[in-house]
Amino acid sequence: MPFVMNYAFFVYLLSLISFSLARTFTVENNCSYTVWPAIYTGSSGSTPDQATGWEAQPYTSVSFSVPDDWASGRIWGRTACDFSNSSTGQTCLSGSCSGGLECTAPGDTPATLAEWTLSGGSADYYDVSLVDGFNVPLAITNNVGCSVASCPVDLDAICPTALIGPTNTSGAVLGCESACDANLSGDASNSSNCCTGSYGTAATCTSSGVEYYSFFKGNCPDAYAYAYDESSGTALWTCDASLNANYTLTFCPPTDISNSTASASATGTSGAAGATTAAASPSAAQLAPAACSLKPKGSAEQPTYTSTFRNAVRRMLHAL
Ligand SMILES: *[C@@H]1O[C@H](CO)[C@@H](O)[C@H](O)[C@H]1NC(C)=O
Ligand SMILES: *[C@@H]1O[C@H](CO)[C@@H](O)[C@H](O)[C@H]1NC(C)=O
Ligand SMILES: *[C@@H]1O[C@H](CO)[C@@H](O)[C@H](O)[C@H]1NC(C)=O
Ligand SMILES: *[C@@H]1O[C@H](CO)[C@@H](O)[C@H](O)[C@H]1NC(C)=O
Ligand SMILES: *[C@@H]1O[C@H](CO)[C@@H](O)[C@H](O)[C@H]1NC(C)=O
Ligand SMILES: *[C@@H]1O[C@H](CO)[C@@H](O)[C@H](O)[C@H]1NC(C)=O
Ligand SMILES: *[C@@H]1O[C@H](CO)[C@@H](O)[C@H](O)[C@H]1NC(C)=O
């Protein structure tokens, strides 16, 4: 019966499609210390098939499935956590979130962020962001030859005094704040460090106006060092969505990891061309600026969700 056959074939096709709708993400902890990874999905769409927080002992990894329309997704690491007192809001010395082990909100600054939006038209967008500061070195690699996004250098160890974030009882620095979060300008609502107020566009918030930009970008050239860093060409990365890349996030990767470790194949493309177009686009400049989450040091209060990445993707899509 033709109808039955067609229906069966349709179901078969559907099963093939749903196979290709998932990516495999691997999160590995190559740090000598325990990291508690956390996942937050900033969009209302689909979410990874993984808890939003877990304990990662040194030199262990987990793999899970991520829908290929995962948007405004971020993964970060928390350090020095203690979940034994459920009434305590701040459970980790860096990267803490509400919800305890399993996060229900973005984490506290400072934290190095790995960000993805896989629904960006024909491309995956991803980056390592220092816009909310730094706590743990990390890198995003993939298995299809696209660029490596990274901040593999331990910025805690060399953090400028003015940016020092949480410390543990031995005095070790566990996080390094952005100039925005460190409140260096004294007015988060009108600050070139935060790209807010009169500095709220790509045209008015250039990297030269961001204090300590060269500290972050110089040490980690393949990371996002301030809200409008797409114009550097080495902040927001893209990978052809049809390649169905699987991604690996490594905490404490080798320090020589960089985009140049990606294969020389032409399959992967950097975000440089698109980003330049986006930054130059007048319509892009009219979009809302990326927010900086300002939080007093040591406070358990949750910062507002920083929409840096989402806005960058919106700017890019607008320009495409
Ligand atoms: C991604 O990983 C899955 C599961 O390991 C595998 O089936 C798939 O072929 C991988 N994709 C690519 C592009 O290698
Ligand atoms: C992380 O450590 C594992 C086990 O030691 C090793 O196999 C892997 O290559 C390391 N990953 C990176 C990116 O260095
Ligand atoms: C748990 O945390 C709360 C809030 O910080 C504190 O008042 C309480 O003493 C803590 N309990 C224990 C057993 O540490
Ligand atoms: C503070 O952090 C350092 C570096 O991670 C670590 O070696 C030390 O044991 C920590 N001290 C305490 C009291 O946790
Ligand atoms: C930022 O600094 C200004 C000026 O010193 C101060 O008035 C303000 O309270 C600070 N904001 C925060 C959130 O610490
Ligand atoms: C922001 O500050 C600058 C000078 O620092 C000032 O010229 C400008 O008017 C301020 N903008 C707003 C919106 O307050
Ligand atoms: C890749 O990294 C190298 C060295 O860090 C840098 O010089 C180069 O511009 C980067 N390439 C791209 C396409 O961003």
How many angstroms separate the alpha carbon of residue 130 from the centre of ligand 5?
Answer: 21
Report CA dihedral (280, 285, 287, 290) to the nearest 10 degrees. Answer: 90
Q: 152, 190, 196, 160: which is closest to 178 by C-alpha? A: 160
Burial (Cβ within 10 Å: 0-12, 13-18, ≥19) of residue 134: buried
Give the pLDDT of residue 257.
Answer: 87
- Is pTM, for the whole model, over 0.85? no
pLDDT tens, 208-263?
999 999 999 999 999 999 999 999 999 999 999 999 999 999 999 999 887 654 43
Give the pLDDT of residue 120.
Answer: 60
Please give the CATH topology (third level) of the domain spanning 20-319. Answer: Thaumatin (2.60.110)
Q: DSSP label at 6?
A: H
pLDDT tens, 8-50?
555 454 544 444 579 999 999 999 999 999 999 999 889 999 9
Q: Which of 150, 222, 276 to mutate to test the pocket of ligand 7 (most atoms within 8 A of CB)?
A: 222
Work out the mean pLDDT of the chain and round it to a whole number.
81
Cα(304)–Cα(289) distance, rounded to whole angstroms? 14
Contact 251, 35 (CB under 8 A): yes
Strand arrangement, sheet containing 138-142: 60-67, 22-29, 247-251, 138-142, 149-151
> Which residues contact residue 61 at a Cβ distance below 8 angstroms, ignoring those fewer than 6 apart?
26, 27, 28, 29
**Domains of the chain, residue spans:** 20-319
Give the pLDDT of residue 305.
Answer: 38
Cα(166)–Cα(304) distance, rounded to whole angstroms? 19
How many angstroms separate the alpha carbon of residue 100 from the centre of ligand 3?
Answer: 14
pLDDT tens, 139-194?
999 999 999 999 999 999 999 999 999 999 999 999 999 999 999 999 999 999 99
How many angstroms separate the alpha carbon of residue 249 from the centre of ligand 4?
Answer: 24
